[in-house]
Homo-oligomer: A and B are copies of this chain.
Amino acid sequence: MSGTFEILFVLYPRFTQLDFAGPYEVFCRIPGVRVRLASPDGGDLVTEHGLTYRGLERLADIDRCDLICVPGGADQSSVTAPETLAEIARLAGGARFTTSVCNGSLVLGAAGLLRGRRSACHWAMRHLLAGYGATPDEARVVRDGDLITGGGVTAGIDFALACAAEIADATVAQAIQLLIEYAPAPPFGSGRPETAAPGVMEAFQKLVAG
């Protein structure tokens, strides 16, 4: 890799912090990578649960990037405003990789970037991809040419390690995996609807209803 590889996260009010935080941790550790954070308005940004990030750049001020990544969020109204979608499409057009985590793929879809492409999404919103001309794919990480998308929330870690292998190489990706001790051992097997224990789907619905 010659020069700096620029990774841009597109953040927005009430985005899901772990959709971003997993890939951020991985990307920051790739040698030769510079990570930038931008939002529609720049400045301070409050996540879904009230954590505040300080001093983001304005999306319109970003000249270019090599990889653009849109995480998911509980409210995508600000990031799907026409002028913001136009900025996302502009930056994706100049990037080597266009990517998303969770329902961030719906933002890529709204920007017109998924027509005729396979894409991942959070399981509960995956069906909405069809509305943007995309083919929903239930894999945890989906690669379709220069488009790399991850599934719900924690899939962002798997996604980012796959990207690291593309940006650097598989050995660097695995060194980062070792550094973040990513040998997962979930205490339960309810990470997907297909494997959820009895009563868990009902508890999930109660949880998201507040």
Select which of B18, B24, B206 is within 8 A of A22 by beta carbon: B18
Given the known interface contacts A17-B25, A18-B25, A21-B22, the answer about A177 and B188 at a Cβ–Cβ threshold of 8 Å is yes
Select which of B18, B158, B192, B196 is within 8 A of A186 by beta carbon: B158
This chain: copies in complex:
2
> Who on chain B is nearest to A203 by CB?
B175
Q: Residues of B contacting A118 with CB < 8 Å?
A: none
A29 at the interface (CB under 8 A from B): yes
> Who on chain B is nearest to A157 by CB?
B154
Q: Smallest distance from the beta carbon of A174 to chain B beta carbons, Å? A: 4
A170 at the interface (CB under 8 A from B): yes
* Contact status A51-B31, CB under 8 Å: no
8 Å CB interface, A76-90 against B: none
A179 at the interface (CB under 8 A from B): yes
* Contact status A184-B203, CB under 8 Å: no
Select which of B35, B122, B180, B192 is within 8 A of A18 by beta carbon: B180
A141 at the interface (CB under 8 A from B): yes
> Who on chain B is nearest to A44 by CB?
B54
* Contact status B178-A196, CB under 8 Å: yes
Beyond the given A35-B49, A123-B181, A182-B191, could you list 4 further A-B residue pairs with CB under 8 A, ordered by the A residue number? A25-B49, A177-B190, A178-B190, A178-B201
- Nearest 3 Cβ contacts at the A-B interface: A183-B191, A152-B181, A21-B21
